[in-house]
């Protein structure tokens, strides 16, 4: 993929056919209201296509179709081995279509094609393959009752899963929910983010081609307040899985409480600390810290947005971070040389710029802080660093979801831990040191779902991903992701 030029990508983009309707019961269809919304390429401000704006009545149709499919057993009663074969075929189809998937996400939300073609799209194939391969290797249990009793404890699918996902990794966030939900035999209704519905619709089409029966995967694009809320409140949805902001996550808990008490699993925001001790490899720490905060325009829930450096190395680290930041220049996302693309849309860019203005009032701007215009769009923000930052500044407390790093100093290990934990979030954290006992001691004391030592944002299909505190609960990825989509059922036999 890396051998394609910007011109090659542009011609591929021009030839793309967008799937822009709801996908319900194995077929594309308009929203019952006939309404549509525009999905825009934030890197050019051009409208890509009009997409069906699904509402409550479309969610009703999709949930009914998912329920019928589940009850029929066409998928839910297939053996794990049979479900594996379908998911492996889907992984293969994604791999055959990597350029198209990469383009759909890049055009829809502005991320560099280099990343969507080498990370997002291959990642989706890998995650479907991994979950497919895992599902026929899990054994259930026989409880140690003894006597002439046989108590079988089995994992059973929940039924209809509602999934609501964000725009920052459109294909991968959908995949992190779909792969374990489908592997375990459930049916799903997915609502992608309004900014980035296109890759999920193509994925649904390929899933059917791979052999997923009609109705097992439905995709309803639309707005959060109507389609998302309708799914959250639906009385026939057994479980709602969500990735997005903490404030919307709390709404889903409310929707469940006010409707059928469906299970709700949330992956929400973050404000992840990155602690640098003086005995660390400072160049490696700076390289990875820059990747961790500037990758995907900083629109990453687990971005290490708060750097905490020991006071004795503050100047050295700040200098290193400044040079790394200044080497990254926003560019056309379709240019394979670009490593920083467009922010997802103008309103999010406005929000990021408000945070930057607030940072300029309270702190010292080390570099960046500029909004720039490229190809008719002003949704580009330069990599930004602030120092002289206090723990009560807005720029330290709130999730910016943009390429903005704050640098603070500490003197003792205990102080570093206290500062790192001084947040409502608990998604990820990093620690840089060559002292193993310090690394483990500090890791133990950090409230975070994942602590990376001498790296940032360590993540794989094999390890659980998710948060503590207001970063949510439940885990995506790994064998443990199956827990969210299954219930333990006991069958007790006397003989």
The answer to whether residue 341 forms part of the interface with ligand NAP (CB under 6 A) is: no
Nearer to ligand NAP, 168 or 187 (CB): 168
| Shortest Å, Cβ 54 to ligand NAP | 10
Site string for ligand NAP, 267-306 (x = CB under 6 A): xxxx------------------------------x-----
Should residue 127 be labelled a site residue for ligand NAP when binding is judged by CB under 6 A? no
Q: 10 Å Cβ neighbour count for 152?
A: 13
Number of residues that bind ligand NAP (CB under 6 A): 32
Give the binding range for ligand NAP (CB under 6 A) out of 8-16, 64-72, 239-247, 284-292. Answer: 239-247
Q: Which one of 39, 65, 106, 229 is in contact with ligand NAP (CB under 6 A)?
A: 229
Q: Please confirm, yes or no, whether 209 is among the known catalytic residues.
A: no
Interface with ligand NAP includes 259 (CB under 6 A)? Answer: no
Residue 54 sits at φ, ψ, to 5 deg, of -65, 145
- Say whether 301 is catalytic: yes
Give the residue with the Cβ less far from ligand NAP, 100 or 399.
Answer: 399
**Which residue sits closest to ligand NAP, CB atoms considered?**
224
193 lies in the site for ligand NAP, by CB under 6 A:
yes
- Taking CB under 6 A as the rule, does residue 32 contact ligand NAP? no
The span from the CA of 312 to the CA of 278, in Å, is: 7
Max CA distance (Å), the chain: 76
Question: Would you give the binding string for ligand NAP spanning residues 356-395, x where CB under 6 A is met?
Answer: ----------------------------------------
Q: Given 194, 267, 299, 399, which residue is catalytic?
A: 267
CB-nearer residue toward ligand NAP: 462 or 493: 462
The three state secondary structure string of 161-195 is: EEEECCCCCHHHHHHHHHHHHHHCCCEEEEECCCC
| Active-site residue list | 267, 301
Positions touching ligand NAP (CB under 6 A) are 164-168, 173, 191, 193-195, 223-225, 228-229, 232, 243-245, 248, 251, 267-270, 301, 399, 401, 427, 467, 471-472
């Amino acid at each position: 993929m890396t051998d394609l030029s910007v011109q090659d990508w542009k011609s591929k983009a021009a030839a793309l056919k967008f799937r822009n309707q709801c996908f319900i019961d194995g077929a594309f269809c308009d929203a019952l209201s006939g309404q549509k919304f525009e999905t825009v390429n934030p890197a050019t401000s051009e409208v890509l296509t009009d997409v069906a704006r699904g509402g409550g009545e479309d969610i009703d149709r999709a949930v009914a179709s998912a329920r019928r499919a589940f009850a029929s057993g066409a998928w839910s009663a297939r053996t794990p081995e049979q479900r594996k074969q379908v998911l492996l075929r889907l992984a293969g189809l994604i791999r055959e279509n990597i350029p198209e998937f990469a383009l759909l996400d890049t055009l829809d939300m502005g991320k560099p094609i280099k990343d969507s073609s080498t990370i997002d799209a291959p990642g989706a194939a890998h995650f479907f393959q991994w979950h497919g391969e895992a599902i026929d290797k899990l054994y259930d249990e026989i409880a140690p009752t003894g006597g002439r009793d046989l108590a079988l404890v089995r994992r059973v699918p929940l039924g209809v899963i509602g999934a609501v996902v964000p725009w920052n990794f459109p294909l991968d966030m959908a995949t992190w929910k779909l792969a374990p939900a489908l592997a375990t035999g459930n049916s799903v209704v997915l609502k992608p983010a309004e900014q980035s519905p296109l890759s999920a619709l193509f994925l649904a089409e390929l899933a059917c081609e791979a052999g997923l029966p009609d109705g097992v995967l439905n995709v309803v694009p639309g707005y959060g307040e109507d389609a998302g809320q309708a799914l959250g409140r639906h009385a026939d949805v057994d479980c709602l899985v969500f990735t997005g902001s903490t404030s919307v996550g709390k709404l889903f808990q409310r929707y469940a409480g006010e409707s059928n008490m469906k299970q709700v699993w949330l992956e929400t925001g973050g404000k992840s600390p990155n602690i640098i001790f003086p005995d660390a490899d400072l160049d490696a720490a700076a390289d990875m810290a820059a990747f961790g905060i500037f990758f995907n325009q900083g629109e990453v829930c687990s971005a290490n947005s708060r750097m905490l450096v020991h006071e004795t190395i503050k100047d050295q680290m700040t200098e290193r971070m400044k040079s790394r930041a200044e080497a990254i220049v926003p560019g056309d996302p379709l240019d394979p040389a670009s490593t920083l693309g467009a922010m997802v849309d103008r309103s999010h860019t406005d929000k990021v710029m408000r945070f930057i203005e607030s940072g300029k009032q309270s702190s010292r701007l080390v570099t960046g802080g500029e909004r720039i215009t490229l190809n008719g769009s002003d949704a580009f923000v330069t990599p930004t660093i602030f120092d002289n930052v206090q723990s009560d500044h807005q720029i330290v407390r709130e999730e910016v979801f943009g390429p903005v790093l704050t640098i603070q100093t500490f003197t003792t290990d205990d102080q570093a831990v206290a500062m790192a934990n001084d947040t409502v979030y608990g998604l990820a954290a990093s620690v840089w040191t060559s002292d193993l006992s310090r690394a483990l001691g500090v890791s133990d004391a950090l409230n975070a779902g994942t602590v990376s030592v001498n790296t940032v944002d360590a993540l794989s299909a094999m390890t659980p991903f998710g948060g503590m505190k207001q970063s949510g609960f439940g885990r995506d990825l790994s064998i443990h992701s199956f827990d969210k989509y299954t219930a333990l059922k006991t069958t007790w036999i006397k003989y």
